[in-house]
């Protein structure tokens, strides 16, 4: 598969000591890939990384995805709890130039529909700016089901979306920071954009 001009580059970073060491298979990146494939209809390019819970390594990886791979969106999974080895939010804040607290607030609100321990999450979202490029970086949960719920939203027993997930705001955010347009499959996630002025 070849990357074409105009394709959005998306970085996927799974942070896990045990998966990195091979103690068990990584589930984060496959879950992200599957959901993005169902939700995004415009062309995109993926850069994937599986790394250990190490702050310096996370920072280095995020910098590479922004500066070398020119990713406009970076989704991390894992390492967001209160344990001493959970360093993903700290590394993300160190790399970011501006924090986007609304995303983090919304992620915890969604997760609280499913688990009371969502209040233990330290997930953050930031923008990493460069003179000619910027990236939105978001910390997602580690469990595949929680990844989907956070991105897609809350559905009732009939499968009807009752509360939108965070991805509904991501395409417009990417456009505001100068990135390419992302079109979505509205049955999975309807991207919100302001109505165009008819005048």
Whole-prediction pTM value?
0.95
Mean pLDDT of 26-42: 97
Confidence of residue 1 (pLDDT cuts 50, 70, 90): low
**Contact in structure between 71 and 11 (CB atoms under 8 Å):** yes
- 17: Cβ contacts below 8 Å, ≥ 6 apart: 52, 53, 85
Mean pLDDT of 169-175: 98
Confidence of residue 199 (pLDDT cuts 50, 70, 90): low
Q: Which two tokens stand for residue 178?
A: 């100068």
Identify the pLDDT of residue 198: 65
Q: Which residues of 159-192 are buried (b: 16+ CB within 10 A; e: fewer)?
A: eebeebbbbbbbbebbeebebbebebeeebbebe
**What is the rounded distance in angstroms from the CA atom of residue 177 to the CA atom of residue 174?**
5
Instruction: Report the candidate in 49, 50, 63, 120 with the shortest Cα–Cα distance to residue 94.
Output: 63
| 3 has pLDDT over 90 | no
Structural domains in the chain, CATH included, are 8-176 (3.40.980.10)
């Amino acid at each position: 598969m070849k990357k074409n001009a105009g394709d959005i580059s998306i970085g996927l970073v799974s942070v896990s000591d045990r998966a990195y060491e091979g103690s068990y298979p990584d589930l984060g990146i496959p879950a992200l890939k599957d959901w993005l494939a169902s939700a995004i209809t415009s062309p995109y390019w993926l850069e994937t990384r599986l790394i250990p819970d190490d702050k310096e390594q996370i920072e280095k990886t995020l910098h590479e995805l922004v500066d070398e791979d020119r990713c406009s969106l970076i989704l991390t999974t894992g390492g967001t709890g209160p344990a001493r080895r959970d360093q993903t939010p700290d590394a993300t804040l160190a790399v970011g130039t501006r924090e986007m607290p609304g995303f983090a607030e919304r992620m915890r609100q969604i997760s609280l529909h499913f688990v009371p321990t969502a209040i233990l999450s330290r997930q953050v979202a930031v923008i990493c700016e460069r003179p000619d490029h910027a990236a939105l970086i978001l910390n997602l949960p580690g469990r595949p089901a929680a990844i989907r719920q956070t991105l897609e939203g809350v559905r009732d027993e009939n499968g009807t979306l009752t509360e939108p997930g965070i991805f509904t705001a991501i395409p417009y955010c990417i456009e505001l920071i100068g990135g390419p347009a992302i079109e979505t499959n509205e049955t999975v996630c309807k991207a919100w954009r302001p109505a165009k002025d008819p005048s």
